[in-house]
Amino acid sequence: MNRKSGRRVALVTGGRRGIGLAVAEGLARDGYDVAITGTRDDEVAQAAVKSLEAHGVSAAYVAGNVQDVPDHARVLDAVEAVLGPIDVFVSNAGVAPPQRLDVLATTVDNFDYVMGVNLRGAFFLAQAVANRMLAKPSETPRALIVVSSCSAEMVSNNRLEYCISKAGLAMVVEGLSARLAGDGIAVFEVRPGIIKTDMTAGVVSKYDALIDQGLVPAKRWGKPEDIAAAVTALANPAVVFSTGTVVNVDGGLTITRL
């Protein structure tokens, strides 16, 4: 909790734009002081901070690459220096493979890049946040929320690295939730489906057609705000006993159908 404002503190990685910014906005609307991270400190990042502050809360931006594990302590120190200890951590930062290559043709560089951010970096940052939470007990339950993907269970053979990284995150959530449940720290996984963001800009026509053909029962693209709604609900201390829950935010995409 922010010692100055008395508000709970949230950290959202990859919060400059897209899903991350929508999540940060949702938490700010709910009265959280919010820190966001990204790899660049630019006009986009500063505009995001101003947008968050417009909700009447404190906001901060800390540049840092999730892939750089030794730098995690600096990032968390910077967040705590401005806002205070973290009550809700949202692991959202992620990348797609630099090249979409068939599973039989993909490269070590492709694999290592995706794993470095999406799995290795995400795991060790969540570990660091959890250890800081344990070092400063709270009477109010806290939460770690991992934004993964429907790709944790659905195969894409031209970007299997991404799918593997998200499947790995699913086990990270299970492991952390089991480890931290007795300490009043809930851990959740949110799995977006087909969401209209910068990451999907290159496949809009493809998925427009597939959605028209019935791929998504809800008959539409997901929006970043759909993910934000799920995350803000899980951030509520009242749902701590639901730790380990996976929430599919995909309009029914992953429902098994005949």
Distance of alpha carbon 86 from alpha carbon 132, whole angstroms? 8
Distance of alpha carbon 147 from alpha carbon 72, whole angstroms? 19
CA proximity to 173, closest of 62, 117, 100, 89 = 89
CA gyration radius, the chain: 18
CA proximity to 244, closest of 155, 177, 198 = 177
Set 32, 61, 113, 162: catalytic member? 162
In the block, residue with structure tokens 């922010």 = 2
CA proximity to 33, closest of 99, 84, 90 = 84
Among this protein's residues, is 113 annotated catalytic? no
Q: Interior CA angle at 82 toward 22 and 76, to 5°? A: 75
Q: How far is CA 194 from the centre of its chain?
A: 15
Catalytic (active-site) positions: 162
